[in-house]
Chain A
Amino acid sequence: MSDTLIMTGRSVRLSRRNVDALIMAMALPVMLLLIFVYFFGGAINTGTEYVTYVVPGVLLLCAGFGSASTAVAVTEDLKGGVIDRFRSLDIGGTPILAGHVLASTARNLIATALVFALAFAIGFRPSAGPGGWLAAIGLLVAYIAALSWLSATVGLLVKSPEAAGGFTFFVSFLPYPSSAFVPTDTMPSWLQGFAAHQPVTHVIEAVRGLLLGQPVGSTGWVALAWCTGILAASVAASGALFKRRTA
């Protein structure tokens, strides 16, 4: 456990100094929120204030973007000799990857706080009680951790930081065919099936419901199951891949 803490400290220091990526990770959520609310929001009818509808979507979109940089961090590690040094100190793959994932989670939570602050300033009025807030934040953390570990796994699969960057593209687009920005029933029917069942939709619906104080029913559990499932599969796959890549 304390190896993980030391490695988290390392990853936090490294991300703090990657100023370009950090500015991007903070500026993108802010810009996206403003773009969706002021550029597109007026044309979209969701039955509620659009800012209130769209905040969970923006949060998840940015969580995807922010988590994906874990892939780049992992490939950078593999490119140099530092992993060999950790291994010769008897540090396994899990603490190294967990360090990156925890640092990514911390980074993303700062971006999330930024989005909430701005959203409040431009009219976001959730009606959740303390329990709802806690559950929503908890679900966001689970989503961020799952995507970060998935992206660490991708980082072990690809050969270059450039290829790892491609994953950013994939996860940043995943929220579009979902209920993140528009209700899914406005989409063509062949897309509705995918949009209604993909994990991002469940997480968004659950977070939105929790923040608005609406009953979320089973959606919350389904969302949590997706997150823990992705996390567990990623932890297992990354363990095996780490051994293969470093042998």
Chain B
Amino acid sequence: MPDAPAIEATGLRKTYGKVEVLRGLDLAVPRGTVHALLGPNGAGKTTTVRILATLTEADAGSARVAGHDLRTERARARRAISLTGQFAALDEMQTGAENLRMMARLTRTHGGARTSRAAARTRAAELLDRFDLADAADRLVRTYSGGMRRRLDLAASLVGQPEVIFLDEPTAGLDPRSRQELWSVVRELSARGTTVFLTTQYLEEADRLADRIAVLHGGELVAEGTSEELKRRVAGQRLDVVLTDPAAYLRLVSQAVYSEPETRTLGFLTDGGAPQVRALLDALDPDGTVIERFSLHTATLDDVFLTLTKPAHQEPSHV
């Protein structure tokens, strides 16, 4: 089914013990796009990816990946996808080339045929070149840097030329340079027509890489759209106020989307128009005594994220 969406999920639910990790998740990802699943720790990102990558079964709901139903056509789905998880799925005590050759030989083509030894060797060499690892090919993975490891891991997930690739927090723990390198790999994959579904805690990453972003919080999608749409959805501007004393800071901090205790600065979302800003200032400081200065900024994706994933019943902080 070449025109089916890359990923289609409806009503995915998963419970571990008494913890409801996913509470009815719907997703639709068109082919050839980069889709980011954004959320704080414990939002259910990894569970979602593991379900979609056939490693975990959902308690309820259905999903199709690359047109294959995950329950009834699991083997076919597996041939069309690959997953790069948070832990490098590599043998430390094998060389980069040995890891890739082994994965290549274990890979079956879409028709189910096996990869020959010679073909596996060629494929491994190709990938090592493409990921700039040819010089390190015969070194044990144990000696690789974090960035090299991540690149090799990604290379290993591409041996079977998957249509859909899942990346679970691909840049967690990488230095800025390795992160940039990984981003360019994702862009290149997408340019070749591969669908990329990635999870991340970094808004910047989602903003830079993804065509569409889904925000996951507490096992549910709380927003979905392009980064521009998401930014517009919340509010256009952020009003930052500097407060005169710590007591005022503590009183107002629970309403803020942004806070900086050192400078007693709090940020609040607004449309940026004079009536709203004036009303907001009055509401925050009815007596006109606690706000020292204010400034207006364009809201960042961070502000959007914090607004959307704010705990529903946040207690005002008491001291």
Contacts and interface: CB of A to CB of B under 8 A. Distances in A.
Interface string A83-126: 01111111100000000000000000000000000000000000
B140 interface: yes
Nearest to A6: B105
A81 B93 contact: no
Interface in A58-93: 80-82, 84-91
Contact of A85 (B57, B114, B156): B156
Contact of B85 (A14, A84, A86, A247): A84
Contacts, number: 66
Interface in A1-57: 2-3, 6, 9-10, 13-14, 17-18
Given A13-B98, A18-B93, A86 B55 contact: no
Contacts of A17: 93-94, 140
A90 B108 contact: yes
Contact of B103 (A2, A89, A90, A247): A89
A246 B90 contact: no
Contact of B89 (A10, A82, A90): A82
B107 A89 contact: yes
Interface residues of B, number: 33
Interface stretch (B73-81, B208-216, B261-269): B73-81
A23 to B, nearest CB: 15
Contacts of B93: 13-14, 17-18
A85 B94 contact: no
Interface of B: 53-57, 75, 78-79, 81-83, 85-94, 98, 102-103, 105-108, 114, 140, 156-157, 160
Identify the 10 closest CB pairs spanning chains A and B, nearest first. Answer: A85-B89, A81-B87, A81-B89, A17-B93, A81-B85, A89-B106, A90-B78, A82-B89, A14-B93, A88-B83
